Amino acid sequence: MREPVAFWYNFRMPANLPPEYHKIEAELRTARSAAEKIDIYERLIRVIPHHKGTDKLIAMYRQKIAKAREEGERQASTAKHAPTHKIEKTGAGQVALAGPPNAGKSSLVRALTGAAVEVADYPFTTRLPSPFMMPFENVKVQLVDTPPVTGELMETWFPEMVKMADAVLLVADLSEPDAAAVLDGIVGRLKERKIELVGSGADVAPPLFPFRKRTLLAANKIDAEGTARAFEDLGVLLEGPFERLAVSAVSGRGLETLRRAVFGLLRVVRVYSKVPGKRAEKDAPFTLEVGSTVMDMARAVHKDFSEKLRYARVWNAAGLDGLRVNRDYVLADEDVVELHI
């Protein structure tokens, strides 16, 4: 859940907060762990001018530090009961990669994120799941690189990790003659564990059995000789209803299309907050599920906004220019919203 933005709207806060304060506070929107939050709170306290007008604001952050520490201690005390290899979600959403040995999952992650992911020309270079952040325009998507899997080779924790992810990116090796059969084996094995991989346009209900995960297929190594035909055959032989994208982690072919498609798997909209009389903050949007309303955004900001919200004004590329809307107004991607309480 997102942290409140303390200086917004009708709250009476000190007017002399430095620009650095607002930049640091924006980081709260993506902070998930207790340690991240504590670090940001402490940095905020350091940049806030200390005088009578800021006493309450500083006290508020000190209380939040205490609560965050309690949360961290509680999580640590129960960690031994948590699922093995659980990856905490950050960013706009979490996408787990799945593919056979040498399909190029790690190479794709490195190309998409720019991170120093270990890559080698032999199988099983990746032994544990590892999270990396993929930038897409003004948000980041968490990609989880994973050890190789097949219908016969799958760690017991892998299906549990897929259940917790928001979506799945299957990676095929186009230079492998049996690529379709290998992928069908992975899909079938997950289905045995009550996980159904569905197309990117499918509706996914809240977590129920079976777990349904929107899935995209990245057909890697398209630059290799003979793989153009293999890409066409893959669409005929593969049983799953997945959108296929031909890519190359080596040359970069198709990666920007893949980046956009991965973001689309999450089914989220980016919504920008606007303080009355000021420009919208477009560097750190709120990410909400498609179909979310003004009230959902108010809840994401702070419970006080959801309880006291009277109306909102919306600006967007469709032509709305500060239109006054009610709580049930459905938000679109890149709407600019000004909440009034």
Q: How far apart are CA 64 and CA 49, in angstroms?
A: 18
Global pTM reads 0.72
Q: For residue 19, give its domain range.
A: 1-82
Last residue of a domain, one of 51, 82, 113: 82
**What is the per-residue pLDDT across 54-93, written as a single tens digit (0 to 9) for each?**
888 888 888 888 888 777 766 665 544 444 567 888 899 9
Question: Is 174 in contact with 220 (CB distance < 8 Å)?
Answer: yes
Q: What pLDDT was estimated at residue 125?
A: 53
Percentage, residues of the chain above pLDDT 70 = 87
Last residue of a domain, one of 27, 60, 82: 82
Mean per-residue pLDDT over the chain, rounded: 84
Q: What pLDDT was estimated at residue 7?
A: 39
Domain match, 208 and 292 both: no
Q: What pLDDT was estimated at residue 121?
A: 54
**What is the per-residue pLDDT across 35-57, written as a single tens digit (0 to 9) for each?**
788 888 888 888 888 887 888 88
Report strand pairing: 243-246 vs 195-198. Answer: unpaired
What's the length of the chain? Answer: 341
Residue 338, domain member (yes or no): yes
pLDDT for residue 290 is more than 70: yes
Cβ neighbours around 175 below 10 Å, total = 18
**What is the per-residue pLDDT across 243-283, written as a single tens digit (0 to 9) for each?**
999 999 999 999 999 999 999 999 999 999 888 888 887 88
254: phi > 0 → left, psi -120 to 50 → alpha, else beta; which?
Answer: left
Confidence tier at 120 by pLDDT (50, 70, 90): low
Domain match, 293 and 198 both: no
pLDDT for residue 116 is more than 60: yes
Domain match, 154 and 227 both: yes
Q: Which CATH number do you get for residue 159?
A: 3.40.50.300
